[in-house]
Structure 1
C-alpha cells in the first residue's frame, strides 16, 4: 500500500477533532459545496490556465473558476503547505493523451515478439472461454516452448487473435472470448487480460517495452496507422497540451493531482512520468509479482481481495481505488460515494469507465467527448451545473447521429444488463443529443 503522508496527516487531524466520529463521516469546517458556491476571492496566487491553448466555448473559464475557488487563489495557506490540499484525478488513455498507451505497448510488443507463450491460454484469465482457448492455441501453436516468445511479428494469425480478443472480446471467428459472472461496474475481462498477457516478464521489462512503444508512437505522424496481422490500428499517440497545462496549473494552485487508469500500472507510469506524475500518484491495474515476475493475479480493492481481476480501476472500481489509495478508506466502504470532504474536487475522463469517479467530483467534471453513452448522458444532463464537456483536442469526433439512449439503456448494471441513467434523486435522465463536438 502506498503512503500519502501529508494527506494521511490531514485525515488524522480531522478524525481527532471529530472525536469518536469516523474519518469518513467527519464534518469539515468548510465544506466542498460551500467552497464551490462561494465566489473565488482574488488573491496574490491565482495560477492561470494558458490562454494560448484553445478550449471549447467557456470551458477554460469554468475550469479556472473551480481552480480559483478550491486552490491557492481563495486559500493562500495551501501555497505554504498548510490545510488539506484539494484533490484532482484524471483518467489517462484518451483523456491525457490522444490514443491508448496500453494499446501502443501491446502493438509494439507484438511487432517485437515480446508475448510469452503460456502453458494454457485458459490460465491467463478465469473468464476466457473454451472457444478463445482453442482459437489462441490453434493460431499461436504449441511449437514454441512454454515461457518463450511467440513470433507475433511474423505470425499474423497469432497477432490477430490476441488483438481481436483484447479489442472486441471476440475471437477472429466471432465467438465470445470471455464468459461467466463478474461485476460489470468493477471489472471487464479484456482490460484485465492486458497485464495477464505480460505474465512472465518483470515490471522493468514491461516498462522498457512501454518506453520503446512510447518513442515509436510519439515519432509517428498524427493520423498515421499501422497494420498488425489484418488489424489496422492507430500508430501515434500525443499528449494533449491543454491537459498538461491543466495539470501544471492545478499543481501550482495547491492541488494534489493523480492519474487513475484501467491500464497496466507499469505502462501508465512510463507515460505519466513525463507530465510530472510519480509512481505514488499513478494508479492503475497492479499485477501481483511472483519471484519477481508478473503473474496472472492482480491486487483487489476494498473488500475484494487479490485475485484474477475481480476489481480493477474500471467504472465503480475507479472510485474504490481513489477512496482506498488517496483517502485511505478501507473495506467495503471504499466502494461507496463519500462525503464532500473525502471526494476529489476535479475529475476528468473520456469514457464510461471513468463516469463514476468523474461524477463524484465536487467542483468540476471534465468529459472529453468520445461519444461514450453514460458519460455523455451525465455531461449533457449537467444535473449540478458543473459538467465541462469538451471535444477531443486532436482529431475530434463529429456530431453523433441520433440521441444517446440515456432513458432506456445508457447505464450498465452490475450484471451487464443495460438500464436507464438516473440522477442522485432517482429521476431518469432523458435521452440527450450530441451538442459539443468538432
Structure 2
C-alpha cells in the first residue's frame, strides 16, 4: 500500500493554514454566540482511517462546528451531505430491496403487460425480453410469480444491471448527467404499492442483509447477487461527530427515498434529513413515476439524484431554489461545507462542498480523477472500509474518464476548463 501524497499530504498542506486544532471549536463562531469556546467532540481514534484523513476531518469539523448539538441550515448551521450506498454502508440497499421484492413476488405486472409502461427509457429489446420471460397471463396490477418463475426473475435482475439476459442494452435515450435509468427503474418497479408497503419491504430486506454473513450471496431466479449489507463504523462515528458539532447532516442518495429512510434511522437521522429518488403518489399508491427537479415536471422521469441531479435536489429541497437554477452551483456561502461519496453519481455535489470532500475509493474513474488531481486541496481519499479494492490502472482522465450527457466518453475538466492529467491510483 502506497501513501497518497496527492489526497492526504496535499490536503494537509492546503488546509493546515485555515483549519483549527482537532479539539477546539471555532472561537469566532462561539464568541459571536456569546459563549466561551469549548472542546468539540472529535472522531474516535480507535477507528481506522487512511493516512491523516481522520485528522483532516477533525480539523474541518472544528473549523466549522459550533459544539452546541445538531443544527439546521435554516438557522445557519453548516451542511454535511452523505451519499448512502457504498459510502455509509457496504453494498447497495436499493438493489437489496429490489432483490427482496423479486424473491417475494412483489413486482406487479405492468399496465397492458407492456414493460415500456415502467420506464420510457427501456429499449425495445429489453421490453420484449421482459414480456417474453414474464408472460402476459398475469393480469396487470397483480403480482408476478418471480419467486418460482426463474426466467422472469432472471430477466428483471439482468435489466436492473442494464442489459438483457441476451446481452442487449436495456436503456437508452436519457441524460447521463441527470439520471441513471436502471436506478430509476428499480424505484419505478415499486409502482402499485403504498409507501407503507415499500417501507415494510425495505425493513425486511434490511433485516435479512444485516443478518447474513459478510460476503454472503443470494440466488434470485438463478442469478447470484450480493446478499449482505453492513454499516461502516467510521461513517456512523463521523455522522455522530458532525451532528454533535452542530452540523445539519443529510443523505442524498440515488436509491428510493422510502428505502433510505428505513436505513438512515440507525445513524440518528430523521426522515426529513433523507433525500433520494422520490416516487409520485396518487391516492396513497405509488404510480411508477418520479418527482421531477429543476423545472422538470413530475412524471417526466428524466431526473433523479444522480450527478447533476443530486445538486438539483439539494439546492431545491435544502435551499429552496426553484426552476432550472437548481442545476447551477450556488454561491459559496450557500453550499454544503462537507460531502462524502464513492462514485460518479456523487462527483457534482462533492465538488460543490467548500470545506472537505471525502471519497471512498471504489475505482470510479471520473470521481477519482477529480479526487487525485485535488486542485484546491480539499479532497480526501480513503479506501473502502470493508473489502477495499486493489489499485486500478491509471485513470484515463485526459481522454475517456468523463461521461457526457449523451453517454459518450471524453476528458475530465477542472472547474476552470483545463483538462486533468491521467492519475495513478494511490489509496487502496
- So what's the TM-score if we normalise by structure 1? 0.88
Q: Deviations over 1:13-36 (max 9, x none)?
A: xxxxxxxxxxxxxxxxxxxxx999
Deviation at 1:81, TM superposition (A): 11
Partner SS, residue 164 of structure 2: coil
Q: Deviations over 1:320-351 (max 9, x none)?
A: 11111111112111111111111100000010
Partner of 1:106: 98
Contact 1:217 1:237 in 2 (8 A): yes
Contact 1:71 1:78 in 2 (8 A): no
* CA distance, structure 2, for counterparts of residue 79 and residue 299 of structure 1: 27
Partner SS, residue 403 of structure 1: coil
* CA distance, structure 1, for counterparts of residue 45 and residue 166 of structure 2: 50
Deviation at 1:144, TM superposition (A): 1.5
Contact 2:138 2:144 in 1 (8 A): yes
Partner of 1:55: 49
Partner of 1:171: 164
Contact 2:126 2:169 in 1 (8 A): yes
Give the alignment of 1:119-198 within 5 angstroms.
119=111, 120-167=114-161, 169-180=162-173, 182-198=174-190
Q: Is 2:323 the partner of 1:343?
A: no
Contact 1:36 1:69 in 2 (8 A): no
* Corresponding residue pairs, total: 399
- So what's the TM-score if we normalise by structure 2? 0.90
Partner of 2:311: 319
| Cα RMSD (Å) | 2.0
1:40 to 20, 23, 38: 20
Relative to structure 1, is the Cα distance of residues 171 and 82 closer, same or farther in structure 2, using a 3 angstrom cutoff?
Answer: closer
Contact 1:136 1:158 in 2 (8 A): yes
Partner SS, residue 254 of structure 2: strand
Partner of 1:433: 424
Partner SS, residue 389 of structure 1: strand
Contact 1:101 1:267 in 2 (8 A): yes
Q: Deviations over 1:138-174 (max 9, x none)?
A: 111112221111111111111111111111x111111
Deviation at 1:305, TM superposition (A): 1.4
Partner of 1:29: none
Partner SS, residue 89 of structure 1: strand
Partner SS, residue 433 of structure 1: coil
2:240 to 236, 243, 248: 248
Partner of 2:408: 417
Relative to structure 1, is the Cα distance of residues 36 and 327 closer, same or farther in structure 2, using a 3 angstrom cutoff?
Answer: farther
2:205 to 207, 213, 223: 213
Partner of 1:72: 66
Partner SS, residue 372 of structure 2: helix
- Structure 2: runs of 5+ lacking an equivalent: 1-13, 25-36
Q: Is 2:380 the partner of 1:388?
A: yes
* CA distance, structure 1, for counterparts of residue 97 and residue 210 of structure 2: 12
Partner of 1:85: 77
2:292 to 287, 300, 306: 300
Partner of 2:219: 227
Partner of 1:284: 276
* CA distance, structure 2, for counterparts of residue 81 and residue 283 of structure 1: 15
Partner SS, residue 46 of structure 2: coil
* CA distance, structure 2, for counterparts of residue 164 and residue 97 of structure 1: 23
- Structure 1: runs of 5+ lacking an equivalent: 1-33
Residue range with higher mean Cα deviation, 415-424 or 354-363: 415-424
Contact 1:140 1:157 in 2 (8 A): yes
Contact 1:35 1:70 in 2 (8 A): no
Q: Deviations over 1:218-251 (max 9, x none)?
A: 0000011112223211110000000000000000
Residue range with higher mean Cα deviation, 225-234 or 92-101: 225-234
Deviation at 1:385, TM superposition (A): 0.8
* CA distance, structure 1, for counterparts of residue 209 and residue 69 of structure 2: 41
Residue range with higher mean Cα deviation, 204-213 or 39-48: 39-48
* CA distance, structure 1, for counterparts of residue 275 and residue 69 of structure 2: 28
* CA distance, structure 1, for counterparts of residue 71 and residue 275 of structure 2: 25
Deviation at 1:45, TM superposition (A): 3.2
Partner SS, residue 212 of structure 1: helix
Partner SS, residue 398 of structure 2: helix
Contact 2:193 2:285 in 1 (8 A): yes
Deviation at 1:195, TM superposition (A): 1.2
Q: Deviations over 1:227-285 (max 9, x none)?
A: 22232111100000000000000000000000000011111111111211112110001
Partner SS, residue 247 of structure 1: helix
Give the alignment of 1:366-381 within 5 angstroms.
366-381=358-373
